[in-house]
Structure 1
Amino acid sequence: MSDILILEVADLEVNVLTGIYSQETHLPQPLRISIRAELEMADHYAPETPLSASKNYMDLKDAATQLPNGVHFTLIEAVAEHIIERLFAEDDRVKSLEIKIVKLAIAEHGEAIGITMKRVRK
């Protein structure tokens, strides 16, 4: 097994047009999105190693926070799929992605209700 580098961005709060019920389809809902990206590691990371030897974690944040304007995602699974497709298209070094999405508006007592989707590059 080869070494892997895991980049993470956790607990981003993003307002997204999503939902299936009439009360959900007109206004954005708050989602908590976390992303784990697995990449192959460089052989060594010295103090002067450039960013090109890794991946900018801001790319992960941007993929979650810069969703298409005006698009209604019926399912939060489609939000996760959109993030995965963008990150795979941007960088061939990304070997797998795990996206966790929690729907904040439906929690009544602080519970986390949502999905986790993991996709491995084929």
Structure 2
Amino acid sequence: MEIENIGPDSDLLRLHVRNVEVMVLTGIYSEETKLPQPLRISVAIDMAAPDRFDPDTPLSASKNYMDLKHAMTEGLPKDRHFSLIEAVADHIAETMFLQDKRVLRVAIDIVKLAISENGEEIGITMVRNRP
């Protein structure tokens, strides 16, 4: 199914990898700008789904989940400081769009673990559609 043919009634496949903890250089306060801090990141992508997945359907009809995990881990530059976690989310979304032209939408959840005091989850959810 071509991207141009995706409509409101089209079938979609949503793949996700949730709750990956990653150390990222991020933050605006002086205590945050020197050392990486732990983030919990979840990513979901939407892509066009074929009419059916038969038992012998090859992986090429879908997407490897490890590509999502890679965008959250190895795909984030270790030596780059992101002032905002929103910039981290944008980097992940851009990586997903560049990896595979079939990716239509990316949703990224980021929780800043270092500022949690009582188990609350403080962070963002960003949804980007293919430009």
Deviation at 1:63, TM superposition (A): 0.1
2:121 match: secondary structure: coil
1:48 match: secondary structure: coil
In the alignment, what sits opposite 1:82?
91
Work out the CA distance in 2 between the residues paired with 1:121 and 1:72. Answer: 25
Work out the CA distance in 2 between the residues paired with 1:120 and 1:71. Answer: 25
In the alignment, what sits opposite 2:69?
61
Deviation at 1:19, TM superposition (A): 0.4
Deviation at 1:96, TM superposition (A): 0.3
Task: Return structure 1 stretches of 4+ with deviation > 6 angstroms.
Answer: none
TM-score by length of 1: 0.98
Gaps of 5+ in 1: none
The number of aligned residues is 122
Gaps of 5+ in 2: 1-8
In the alignment, what sits opposite 1:70?
79
2:31 match: secondary structure: helix
Q: Percent identity?
A: 61
| Counterpart selection for 1:20 from 28, 34, 49 | 28
Work out the CA distance in 1 between the residues paired with 2:66 and 2:78. Answer: 20
Determine whether 1:101 maps to 2:110. Answer: yes
